[in-house]
Every structure is written in C-alpha cells, then in structure tokens.
Amino acid sequence: MFGFTGRDIIKAVEEGAGPAAAQPQSPAEPRRDLSDLAARIAGEEVGAAYSPVVLGGIVRLIEFTLVLFLGATIYMGWVYPDNGVQWTSTVGLFGLAMLTTLAFQAAGLYDVHVFRTHVAQFGRLVVAWTLVFLIAFAVAFFLKAGEELSRFWLGTWYASGLGILAVFRIGLAQIVKTWSRAGRLQRRAVVVGGGEAAEELIRSIQAQRDSDVTICGTFDDRTDVRSPAHAANVPKLGTVDDLVEFARRTRVDLVIVTIPMTAETRVLHMLRKLWVLPVDIRLAAHAAKLRFRPRAYSYIGNVPVLDVFDKPIQDWDVVLKWVFDKIVGTCALIALSPIFLLTAIAVKLDNKGPVFFRQKRYGFNNEMIEVFKFRSMYTDMSDATASKLVTKGDPRVTRVGRFIRKTSIDELPQLFNVVFKNDLSLVGPRPHAVHAKAANQLYGDVVDGYFARHKVKPGITGWAQVNGWRGETDTPEKIQRRVEHDLYYIENWSILFDLYILAKTPISLASHRENAF
C-alpha cells in the first residue's frame, strides 16, 4: 500500500481541493436511486466469496492428513506386528507427509485455477508424488537406513496414495467448478473511469484465461464522449456516488481506478468517497507513463496496479476472528448464564414488559442488523431508533435499568448476536443506532468518513470504549474521538489486539462508569 489512510485522503482534499470538496452524501440519508440496470445487477442473488488463500490452505491440510493417515495405516497393518515402532519409520512418516506438501506447492498444485482442471492436476500430481518417493529412497540410501525401511510399506504407500490423491482431486475439481459457476471463487470488480483506459484494462482482464475477476460495470462522473455507455461491452452503471450505493446493495470485492495518477485532485475526491467501503481499491498502472520499481506493483493477472486500500480483515484473518468469536463467545455465555438469569428476573419484576429489547443498528458495510439488549427503559417509553440520547437521570430508564446500564450488563445479550446470528464480533467498533445524534446532528453528518467504521463487523466492546469514549455523545468532539479510535482499531487489527481490548474491558467499565447513564 501507499502508506496512507482514509483520514489522510480527507485531510488532503480539505487542504487543497477548494470549493469542489463538497461533503459526500451521508449514507444515513434515504437510499440513493440507481439506474434500472445497476439496480437489477445489484439485486441479483450473489453468495459470499470463498477466499482462494483459505481454500488452498485447507487443501494442503487435507492432503497432508491423507498422506500421513494412509502411511500410518499401512505401517500399522504390515510393519508394526513384526517390528514395532521404529524411529526411522516414524521420521519417514512425518517427513514424507511434509515433503509431499512442499513438492505439491512447488508444482503449483495449490493454485485455484489448477483445482478446476483434471489434466493439469494429474500430470503435476504424478510427477510431484513420484519425486517425493525418489527423494525418500535417496535419503534412506545415503543415511544407510534402507534396511530398516520396508520396501513393501513404501511401495504400497506410493501406489495407494497416488490413487487416493487422484480421487480427492477429482472430487475437489467438481466442487471448485460448482463454486466457480456460483461466483464463490470470483472477485466481483467494478472499474472507476471510462474511455480508452477503462476499455484497455477490461480487455486485458477478459483476455486472461484463468482470471478470477468478473467486471460488473463501470462508474464515472463524466457524462460526455470521454465516458461512453459501454467499455469493452461492459455497461456504465452510474457515477462514483452511485458506486457507493451499489456496493452497499451487492457484493463488490475490488474497485479498479483507471483515472490517470496525474489527475491528482480528481483521484483524491474519488478516494474520499470510496475509502469507507470494505473493498480492495487498486489504481491501474497499465497506461501510466510514470513507472515505479517492479516490486511497487501488484498484479491482477498481468495488469500492473498500485494498492491504495485493502479490505481490513480478509483470508485467514477472517477465519481466525470467526473462530475466536465463537469459542470465546460461547464460553462467555456459559460463564455468565447466572447473571443472565438474575438480570432477566430483575427486569421482569421491576417493570411489566419483555425482558429483552431489540434495536436496529448499523452493521458491517452499513447493513441493518438487530441487536439484543436487556430492556432498561419503561416499555411505553422505549426509543428503538435512539432518536433521543439517554441522559443523566433520564425518566425513561427504570430502576433496574439504571444499574444494568451503569455496569453495561444490558449489553450482555449481544453475545447471542455473536454466537448465533454472526452479525456482531466480540471486539470491534460499537454498532450505533440508526438515528443516533451528537449535538442534534446525525453521526454521519458530524464526522467526515464516519461510515468507514463499518468496514469491519461491529463489536460488543472496542478500542474507543476501553479508552473512555462510551456513553453519551452530546458534543461533536465525543463522537469524533470515538470514530478516531474505531478507525485506529481497524487499521491496526490483530488477534492480540482483540485479546488486549477484552482484558481491558472490565477495568475500563469500572473506571468510566460515570459516562454511562
């Protein structure tokens, strides 16, 4: 990446763009109308994308396990009854399984486009698998361990392993083909810009035999002949503002900008609008006269691009965070079940009405989610949209409600969202209510780039909360500081950071209770 953040983009625009730097439309306003074609494409059913990086890792793990299990099974059935466990065989067992993974990696057998083809897979698989055993025999010969290794064991392992791996790869090819047809292994991309630069880029991508990029359309603010209705048979779907709405309605994985790097002001204004989206943003360099060192580029097929923004959490990080949320969230639910029970009884006895309160809030990518809380207000005074913030001594809050809000016990049912609904994380930017305000202004109108905090899944606790920015937001500064901490979290996420925030949360709740009403 270039080494700057979305806040740097905003600052650059504000400092040098002059009157053209109008505030982008707040996503808190009614949804923007799209053209009929853009609305139809956005309305098509699109499943979640599967990460090729994760898929390749899973295939490695499965094949390592298959090779290890097969070798151990044959050994236990043939060698063990007569010779027991030999150290040479044990080392050979694990060594050959690891060598198989390395050989398959070197042969390119873990590339997703190879998974789809039988011929390419089998030719490489036979060569790599045979080479593994030739290396094993050579090592055994030079270490003079040949007599201790059963030739029948190795021969049977080689023949049966080749068959089992071939069957596995046949099944894998069918699965990958099905996922490819459903778009699960494709990156849905849009192009910003039009004219010859966009057409050249699109044709280059379409000409690639095993491209994993599908171009949904182009978006351009220009309406003259420099930006025609089609570029390489790909339709123009609207303006950059329309792209923000389009990406809210359907899955967009990649934004490729073909605007020349020399048009600095135009690029900055465009990035100011787009950086709030949870997508990869790339600046096409195929037509640029200004050239950087080769290592400065990444590539979409053979098209050089400059990485501007990356989706914050992706590939194995998504899996790691999901597993972390499920395991820790489930343990927390079990450990806190007595508090759940006592709080439910207290809420019910204190005031008639439901135990739980459900509220619409903004989630990942500005999607509307419904979070669970213990009810802390009188039933007839509940404010589902949070149009009026709760203040100190608020008459709408019940006696039990004051205590559970002060201690944040009212937030505990959001563990249901984490464990069962999967629309919250344990740690992340706190989800705000739809009509939450600071100084009588919607949050999105107070903070430029506010909705960039929705580039990741919201959380029960977060970096802003453990630093004291929780509770009432009666001034623009308070919501500004909260958003700054949220963006810092997104830009610096790690699982260790999540653990640190979770460990600090109880301390923060105890030391900043005066901020919660």
CATH number of 248's domain: 3.40.50.720
**Residue linked to tokens 């135990």:** 355
94 inside domain? yes
Provide the pLDDT confidence category of residue 162 given band limits of 50, 70 and 90: very high
Q: Which residues, including other chains, have CB under 8 Å from residue 366's CB and lie 6 or more apart?
A: 27, 248, 451, 454
1 inside domain? no
Buried b or exposed e, range 403-418, using 16+ CB within 10 angstroms: bbbbbbbbbbbbbbbb
Same domain, 17 and 92: no
Same domain, 255 and 275: yes
Same domain, 361 and 505: yes
Q: Is the pLDDT of residue 457 over 70?
A: yes
For residue 189, which of 318, 7, 368, 311 has the smallest C-alpha distance?
A: 311
Same domain, 374 and 468: yes
For residue 369, the cross-strand partners are 361
Same domain, 43 and 57: no
Max mean pLDDT among 51-65, 71-85, 197-211 falls in: 51-65
261 inside domain? yes
Same domain, 386 and 267: no
Provide the pLDDT confidence category of residue 359 given band limits of 50, 70 and 90: confident
User: What's the domain count of the chain?
Assistant: 3
Task: Report which residue type is found at 422.
Answer: N
Same domain, 385 and 507: yes
Same domain, 279 and 353: no
DSSP state of 138: H
Q: Which residues, including other chains, have CB under 8 Å from residue 316's CB and lie 6 or more apart?
A: 51, 53, 54, 57
| Angle between helical axes of 264-274 and 6-16 (0-180°, round to 10) | 130
Q: Write out the two tokens for 321.
A: 């965070």
Element (H, E) at 282: strand 280-284
458 inside domain? yes
Provide the pLDDT confidence category of residue 25 given band limits of 50, 70 and 90: very low
Same domain, 118 and 261: no
Same domain, 321 and 456: yes
117 inside domain? yes
Q: What pLDDT, on the 0 to 100 scale, is given for residue 279?
A: 93
Question: pLDDT over 70 for what percent of the chain?
Answer: 82
Boundary-marking domain end, from 262, 278, 309: 309
Poorest-pLDDT segment among 55-69, 221-235, 496-510: 221-235
Q: What pLDDT, on the 0 to 100 scale, is given for residue 22?
A: 45
Q: Is the pLDDT of residue 114 over 80?
A: yes
CA pair distance 102, 99, nearest whole angstrom:
5
Average pLDDT over residues 312-331: 94
Element (H, E) at 256: strand 254-257
Provide the pLDDT confidence category of residue 147 given band limits of 50, 70 and 90: low
Same domain, 142 and 65: yes
Q: What pLDDT, on the 0 to 100 scale, is given for residue 18?
A: 44
Boundary-marking domain end, from 277, 309, 341: 309
- What domain range includes position 342? 316-515
Q: Which residues, including other chains, have CB under 8 Å from residue 423's CB and lie 6 or more apart?
A: 363, 364, 367, 369, 417, 457
Give 486-509 pLDDT, tens digit per residue: 999 999 999 999 999 999 998 887
Same domain, 360 and 479: yes
Boundary-marking domain end, from 261, 280, 309: 309
